[in-house]
Structure 1
Amino acid sequence: MNDTGNCNKSRFKPPVAWLLGRELLAGLKLIVAYTFMGDKQDPKDWMKAEVIQAPNKDFAKDAYWFDFIADTGDGMHAVYNIGYLCMSDLWVADSIGQRPGDTVVLSGDAAHAQRLPRGEFLFVGGDTAYHVADTASLMERFQTPFNCAYDDLVKNGKTIDRRPVYGIPANHDYYDALDGFNRQFREPISSDTGTDNDEKDPQLGLKGFIRTQEASYVDMQLPFGWRLWGLDSQNGKMDKRQQAFFVSSFCNRLVDTGELFDSNRQDAVQRELQQHVPSKLIVVTPEPSTVFGRWAKPDAALVDTFQRLGLQPSFVENHAGKLDDSKCRLDIAGDTHHYERYWGSGQGDAMPANYASVVAGGGGAFLHPSHTDMAEVPRRAHYPHRRNSHQLFTRALLNPLTIWTGGYIWLIGGLVAFLSYFAVTIPQSTVSLFQQIFSGFHPVLANKDGILSRIQSALQIDPDIANVSFFTGSYVFNLMVLVLFAGVLLALWRATKPEKQPGENKQSGKLQQFVTRIMTPVVSLEDNLKADADAWRKSVMLFMTPVLAGAGVLMLLIVMNHEQPPHPLMAGLLMLMSGVVAALLLYLSRRYRDLLDQRSKTHRDTSIFPAEFYQKLGIGPGMVLEAVPFWGYGALAAAYLIFGMLRYGTYSTSIMTFNLLIVVVWLVMTIGLVAIAYFWGGQLFRNATGKIRLALIAAWCAALLLAVPVSLALYADWVSLFVIAAATAAVTLLVGRIFTLDSLVKKEFPLSDQTRLGYFLLAAWFAVGIFTLIAATQGQLIPVDGWRLLAAFLAGAVFSCIWLGWYFATALAFNGHNNEAGGGSRSECYRHMIRFKLTGDSLTGYVIGIDKPVEDFTQATSPVFRLVDVFTIHSRSNPRNDAGMTD
């Protein structure tokens, strides 16, 4: 066994920093590469998967046990606790008095008479380490805590035998192209020796476990006729080879004859698959089928994956959690770092259930807020409790130190404030804009002969140009045209097939209908990938319409006459928009190339004109013309880029470079934040109302992020700056305490209370922001010097952490930015694992919660954990609830 390095638990690392932390920045290139090229880096086709026989399967008599965790390899204390529990027998109250919330201990006594024996194997449901599950991260954040747990168990007098560990990958495993996952789970070439500091020992071995897996997806035969399928289905999608592997285990005829992939026999194949699919099944996926109280979309990729395997998508609204009576199935996944259960039978339920969907991502990664709830699907259980979740995250986010230590957000905030203050005080090209808006705004330099004066001279523009209005009509029209065309291209970039809701006849709104029409060129091309040659050619011709429209727009901009050059800042904005249009055109060019590649896999003819046309020209169909859209979009992109530089780049290089930089910074900090709130932070919302609310909150945050630090640098002396910053931070901390008081947050904390508190929190933030702005602008303009630039940087660093915490806490109250709020808070509390018990007619899950990680099991006296949930699914043939049966 490789030396796990440092087992000094006092030096265990907390969860990784998500707010632009060092480790995130180091792994960013891998994350970006997977984001853009992940579909081209798929190693599954080279894997040789085999059906796995569960360990000790043939010796199981009354019950069989195994353990499940997911989303681990992050906060090392949390992973250490999870590892300790996974290698231990656990004890709970007997079946008669057993209730969720009961204590779980490591040794039995009169109050804890039922033993939950260690699982025969451990299954890891994806995201084995963060940010990137490469060898170094796995060794430090997964192997080390697990091996330390093993060593401490031995120190405490326990004998631990080695049992198999299996897993499936999720997105963080794929960021390393499954190299780390392969080393962690695949059977090594040489056997683990179990000895520290053995250089011949395979990397990433876990004490107490053995590795026997051969592929990234798993089909395991369990006792009593149960099966476990671990799907490697990134973003819900599954490749054909993997589909064939699972189907061959219960309906091999369809694979041998090729009918499984015959699009003309889909209905018949579906019926045959559903008839023969295993009747007692556990399906592990990288992403949950149901989460945050929200129905899965009927056209979601995961729904298609389940149907291709003959599985009923019980988690969509028209199935409403129902499964055929002859089947019994558990869908389980991590990805979301807390516990949720939908359907299934709990303790005391009169009606047995044969289906449950479980989210169990509590294996050690940072905690996601559990009080985010879209209230479409009722949750049967969740952990932590809504009230605990609200209190923990609101206090954490409204503590500026939490955000400060969560990454380099403070540095970004400081640099933005530095550049913004510089822009409104030094270069005449940007200062003139604010002088046009605010009369009497005349910042002066403290030293007329210093370096700032020389920089100002280098960025000097003609006084007549400085007086040119930023809002000159012809250039505003140019900007509107470019923005409109960029919006059309952006809609094409995001184009997907419209979502189909079964039984829904509601007409789309006019705006949605308009956007749908804009998307038609791309949607039509994707719809006709497998169509005949005539339909394909028509869709390609339709795909060329944006090129023709873009050429017309460009000609309009070229022939327009302007009486004077644009304001320098407007020139930078117009150059930037020309570049944005060019970038979007290049992306659409790449998208066409990818679609052409997809069609070539199923059709030899990818040309866009009939064969007779090529014969008349005397060229082969594959030589040039099928690439016309590709080159058309590329050429138009180059034309827009060149036009922007020649038409609008009329000032010196130094002026245009700085103007472009500050325009990018300000757009990212305003429109960028609003767009992130709408499209990312509000992705759980099905309608625009919730997204618009988040976008407005983000707009307020952006205004404070830019205005407060710059105002302090302009008007506040050092004492005032310190007092205002300290007072704002103190009030923020106080609000975090007030809004989490037990007297204010009811025990059940329903969604209505959460929303009401959200509005109160928003009102409090608005008041704090207004008073801070008023305080920051009291006084006279202070002469500009290097110390003022430093003041701007420091104010931006501090207030970026304050305002971003307010933003996440407020957005979270309205069901927004769950992932960012969790990553920013980095809590190791409320982790969990599940110990499963199989019998001939049921599956029971014992969810073991860790409210707060134990720092050292060798020094802890009788550590206590919590029984979060006990649920059972039954085979309908014998609906007997045995959730509390003793071993």
Structure 2
Amino acid sequence: MPHSSRDTPEGAGWGNSQLGTYKSLMPARVEKLSWLNPRTLWAARNGVLASWFGDPTGRTRSRWVEQAVAAGAPPDAIVRRTDADHFSFMVIGDTGEGDDPQYAVIPGFLKVSQGTDFAVLASDVIYPVGSTDDYGTKFFRPYQNYPAPIYAIPGNHDWYEGLQGFMRVFCGAPPAAPAARPRPLTRAWLRSLLWHAPGSTDEHRLAQARALRSEPSQQAVQPGPYWAVDAGPIRIIGIDTGLLGTLDAEQGRWLREVSRGDRRKILVTGSPLYVDGEHHPCAIEGGGTVDAIVRDPENHYVAAIGGDIHNYQRYPVRVSGGRTIQYVVAGGGGAFMHATHTVPRVSVAGVTEHDFRCYPLRGDSLAFYSRLYGHRLRMPRFFTLTEAEALAVVAERLGVPPVRAQGEAVRVTRRIRLVASLLGAGRRPDRKARFRLPVRKLYTQLFSPGSATYSPPFFKCFLRLDVTPAAIRLRCHSATGTLDHELDPPVEDEVTIPLS
């Protein structure tokens, strides 16, 4: 087994490793997505408008579902596959920036996915606004050589054009009829004045893109933006959390219905239920939460996998009846990296730092961001930390031993501590927060780190799940952009989930 980031710096992708072959897969011209561009921010305005003037995605989703059922989709939105009791599938989240970090995942993904029966994309298939015209370079081209079907759930970015591209590609739906005009001088009317509407589709361009995944073995038409897949001994349920990370009442009723029964279940969601050391149960319109459904022993969930946050995290939460549910964040499939070094020492729902897993390691995340800020602020000598310095100061701030064995001991200096504090490195819960730069919320919304990282390591990841009647083996593989990791993608985390 190759070294992972938990073993050596080279396993994390640091050093002078040979560049991978992923660039040969990319189109000749690649648009470098920047969240500093006013045009990008303006096109992605619908999430802000929904939070100000009310969220219309529930009604829009209902129209899409009605249209799909009228066209022949199963009313219960369940895909019934004929997989054997032993089968495998892939999960990869937040993929579609269409640049180096996304394509760097592909060689390792294709290597690890050999023999799998299908794949699931968890949230944000296309950035920045889910446009149909972007699917060629951000979906069909990257995954053209994956021989099996791909199912998907939308993220908030796929909703910025009313889910038009997503429904067209994954559900075979024609453009939806326009919604009724709202009454003047209402909140909905004010929202409609500024709302970003879907653009027209270049049909020739879409047909050319579809040709890249045209083999019969690659085809699957899913019943809508939310669905369930019965495969072997398990049911995989994908939910659509829309623009604001919640469920409408109609989808909530459906989720309660398809969650019943003895079949073991895995939830795939665009809004993770545990992330960054916090619990986000996901509200359902009209009452209740998604996590209450997942925890209900009558529903037999064994895992909940969420996208949206662009890294890997795992929380094994013990619930009633002595069961353990694996709550996983798996959004590292291609978009810019969200920091892990800002995650405080974990103590949530009985999960401790000893149980918690993340990728990239907090020290590697801090080293990455220190280089990024050093470049952005033109202060590389002050901000830049070596991976060993970053690992040591994170361990000191959390009060835990370093995850990766060090060579020579690192002396943590006043400068190192100051940089770690400014960049929000994880702290112990009993310590008060001080001033820090906006490494999570503001920075990652406005300054996409992907725009500054077109050379390894990228710290991307994807999951492979191998299912038998007795258990599911879940493995998180890394993708750094180096050749050795393309040839043999390291395993960053592995857990066996019993089904008995």
Q: TM-score, normalised by structure 1?
A: 0.41
What pairs up with 1:277-676 in 2 under 5 angstroms?
277-296=261-280, 301=283, 307=289, 311-313=293-295, 324=297, 327-343=300-316, 354-374=324-344, 375-377=346-348, 378=352, 380-400=356-376
More helix by share: 1
Deviation for aligned residue 1:146: 3.0
Structure 1 residues 120, 819: closer, same or farther in 2, change over 3 A? farther
Structure 1 residues 290, 129: closer, same or farther in 2, change over 3 A? same
Q: What SS class does the counterpart of residue 89 from structure 2 fall into?
A: strand
Deviation for aligned residue 1:742: 2.2
Residue by residue over 1:691-744, the C-alpha shift from the partner in whole angstroms, topping out at 9 and shown as x without a partner, is: xxxxxxxxxxxxxxxxxxxxxxxxxxxxxxxxxxxxxx4xx210123x436257
User: What corresponds to 1:639 in structure 2?
Assistant: none
Structure 1 residues 23, 70: closer, same or farther in 2, change over 3 A? farther
Residue by residue over 1:230-262, the C-alpha shift from the partner in whole angstroms, topping out at 9 and shown as x without a partner, is: 111233422232233344446xxxxxxxxxxxx
Structure 1 residues 134, 332: closer, same or farther in 2, change over 3 A? same
Structure 1 residues 133, 211: closer, same or farther in 2, change over 3 A? same
CA contact 1:246–1:309 (8 Å) conserved in 2:
no
CA contact 1:70–1:124 (8 Å) conserved in 2:
yes
Q: Does 1:9 align with 2:9?
A: no
Deviation for aligned residue 1:759: 7.9
What pairs up with 1:688-703 in 2 under 5 angstroms?
none
Q: Which of 27, 52, 57 lines up with 2:43 in the alignment?
A: 27
Deviation for aligned residue 1:165: 1.4
Q: Which of 238, 241, 252 lines up with 2:250 in the alignment?
A: 241
Distance in 2 between residues matched to 1:188 and 1:740, nearest whole Å: 50
CA contact 1:69–1:834 (8 Å) conserved in 2:
yes
Deviation for aligned residue 1:73: 0.7
Q: What SS class does the counterpart of residue 835 from structure 1 fall into?
A: strand
Structure 1 residues 741, 55: closer, same or farther in 2, change over 3 A? closer
Q: Does 1:137 align with 2:134?
A: yes
Q: Which of 215, 232, 238 lines up with 2:240 in the alignment?
A: 232
More strand by share: 2
Deviation for aligned residue 1:24: 1.7
Q: What SS class does the counterpart of residue 311 from structure 1 fall into?
A: helix
Structure 1 residues 325, 839: closer, same or farther in 2, change over 3 A? farther
**Counterpart code for 2:476:** V
CA contact 1:344–1:872 (8 Å) conserved in 2:
no
CA contact 1:236–1:302 (8 Å) conserved in 2:
no
Deviation for aligned residue 1:360: 0.2
Q: Does 1:128 align with 2:144?
A: no
**Counterpart code for 2:222:** Q
Deviation for aligned residue 1:77: 2.5
Deviation for aligned residue 1:844: 1.5
Q: What SS class does the counterpart of residue 396 from structure 1 fall into?
A: helix
Q: What SS class does the counterpart of residue 39 from structure 1 fall into?
A: coil
User: What corresponds to 1:733 in structure 2?
Assistant: 380
Residue by residue over 1:614-638, the C-alpha shift from the partner in whole angstroms, topping out at 9 and shown as x without a partner, is: xxxxxxxxxxxxxxxxxxxxxxxxx
Deviation for aligned residue 1:279: 4.6
Deviation for aligned residue 1:292: 0.6
User: What corresponds to 1:66 in structure 2?
Assistant: 89
**Counterpart code for 1:809:** L
Residue by residue over 1:733-778, the C-alpha shift from the partner in whole angstroms, topping out at 9 and shown as x without a partner, is: 10123x4362574287354379x989856867xxxxxxxxxxxxxx
Segments of structure 2 that go 5 or more residues without pairing to the other structure are: 1-22, 175-202, 401-410, 428-432
User: What corresponds to 1:868 in structure 2?
Assistant: 492
**Counterpart code for 1:746:** A
Q: Does 1:82 align with 2:134?
A: no
Deviation for aligned residue 1:212: 0.5
Q: Identity rate of aligned residues, in percent? A: 21
Deviation for aligned residue 1:344: 7.1
Q: Which of 851, 866, 874 lines up with 2:480 in the alignment?
A: 851
Deviation for aligned residue 1:849: 0.6
Distance in 2 between residues matched to 1:280 and 1:309, nearest whole Å: 16
What pairs up with 1:694-773 in 2 under 5 angstroms?
729=378, 732-737=379-384, 739-740=385-386, 742-743=388-389, 745-746=391-392, 749-752=395-398, 760=415
Q: Which of 145, 163, 168 lines up with 1:178 in the alignment?
A: 163
CA contact 2:252–2:285 (8 Å) conserved in 1:
no
Q: Does 1:214 align with 2:187?
A: no
CA contact 2:81–2:230 (8 Å) conserved in 1:
no
Distance in 1 between residues matched to 2:98 and 2:414, nearest whole Å: 33
Residue by residue over 1:588-629, the C-alpha shift from the partner in whole angstroms, topping out at 9 and shown as x without a partner, is: xxxxxxxxxxxxxxxxxxxxxxxxxxxxxxxxxxxxxxxxxx
CA contact 1:344–1:873 (8 Å) conserved in 2:
no
Deviation for aligned residue 1:171: 0.8
Distance in 1 between residues matched to 2:171 and 2:413, nearest whole Å: 47
Deviation for aligned residue 1:343: 0.7
User: What corresponds to 1:818 in structure 2?
Assistant: 440
Structure 1 residues 861, 141: closer, same or farther in 2, change over 3 A? closer
Distance in 2 between residues matched to 1:741 and 1:7, nearest whole Å: 29
Structure 1 residues 292, 866: closer, same or farther in 2, change over 3 A? same
Deviation for aligned residue 1:80: 2.2
Alignment size in residue pairs: 402
Segments of structure 1 that go 5 or more residues without pairing to the other structure are: 1-5, 91-115, 151-159, 190-196, 251-275, 314-322, 346-351, 404-728, 765-805, 855-859, 878-887
Q: What SS class does the counterpart of residue 142 from structure 2 fall into?
A: helix
User: What corresponds to 1:201 in structure 2?
Assistant: 207
Structure 1 residues 382, 244: closer, same or farther in 2, change over 3 A? same
Q: Which has the larger radius of gyration?
A: 1
Deviation for aligned residue 1:177: 0.7
Q: What SS class does the counterpart of residue 336 from structure 2 fall into?
A: coil
Q: What SS class does the counterpart of residue 175 from structure 1 fall into?
A: helix
User: What corresponds to 1:625 in structure 2?
Assistant: none
Structure 1 residues 343, 7: closer, same or farther in 2, change over 3 A? same
Q: What SS class does the counterpart of residue 33 from structure 2 fall into?
A: coil
CA contact 1:125–1:284 (8 Å) conserved in 2:
yes
**Counterpart code for 1:40:** P
Q: TM-score, normalised by structure 2?
A: 0.69
CA contact 1:56–1:120 (8 Å) conserved in 2:
no
CA contact 1:76–1:142 (8 Å) conserved in 2:
no
Superposition RMSD in Å: 3.9
User: What corresponds to 2:188 in structure 1?
Assistant: none
Deviation for aligned residue 1:205: 6.0
User: What corresponds to 1:645 in structure 2?
Assistant: none
Q: What SS class does the counterpart of residue 55 from structure 2 fall into?
A: helix
Distance in 1 between residues matched to 2:140 and 2:52, nearest whole Å: 30
Q: What SS class does the counterpart of residue 481 from structure 2 fall into?
A: coil
Q: What SS class does the counterpart of residue 494 from structure 2 fall into?
A: strand
User: What corresponds to 1:472 in structure 2?
Assistant: none
Deviation for aligned residue 1:356: 0.5
